Structure 1
Amino acid sequence: MQLIPCPWCGPREETEFHYGGQAHVPHPEDPAALDDEQWARYVFFRDNPKGPFAERWAHTAGCRRWFNAVRDTASHAFLSVYPVGAPNPLGDGSRQGQEAGA
């Protein structure tokens, strides 16, 4: 069983958490102006690097709060956790680490 460090509750079993996808994905400034292809890219296309990756997590069976975490996708180790709204420790988040699929 893997322990995930909740920023508010401390380390808890992975079964208490829910994965929320890639962190730091900016919402379009004017969603109504996007064509279908642009909207599909925003909704469905995410980075998929091997290595450190910023993700969103929810402690659903605990404090029920969302937080961000940097997790190594190769080893599944959590490298850091931080509150939503805090800066991305990997940079701007547009292409984290390596290119997608690399």
Structure 2
Amino acid sequence: MGERVSAYQRRRVLDVLPLVADWPLTMSGWEYVGGLLAWLEDALLRDDGPEVGRLASALEAASPSRIHVRVSAQRAEPPAPVRDRLNRLQETLAGPPLEDVREGSGDDAE
């Protein structure tokens, strides 16, 4: 197995997630971001550090501050699945590090 997800990578993703729901994106922009979030969630569950790093960079690059966004009548609110995934990712990342959960899973049993 490759590198695990580091505390730095978790913090990097946690820093951008709360901002995502307010991005002025079109529906096609939300579809792209929704795909990134799905892949990111999968990479976190697999504890794939390199993939989380790559997807964090892609998510940051998709932000309106990094790309030219034409705000118009086509702007859409994030769809419910995107909002749900954002919330799930924030809860996952804000919890104990994945290695703490794995290592502590049997410690309380007698």
Q: Considering the TM-score relative to the shorter chain, is it more than 0.5? A: no
Which structure is higher in helix share? 2
Return the index of the structure with the highest Cα Rg.
Answer: 2
For the aligned pair, the TM-score class normalised by the smaller chain equals: under 0.3
Which structure is higher in strand share? 1
Scaled by the length of structure 2, what TM-score is found? 0.24
Determine which structure has greater relative contact order: mean sequence separation of CA pairs < 8 Å that are 6+ residues apart, divided by chain length. Answer: 2
Scaled by the length of structure 1, what TM-score is found? 0.26
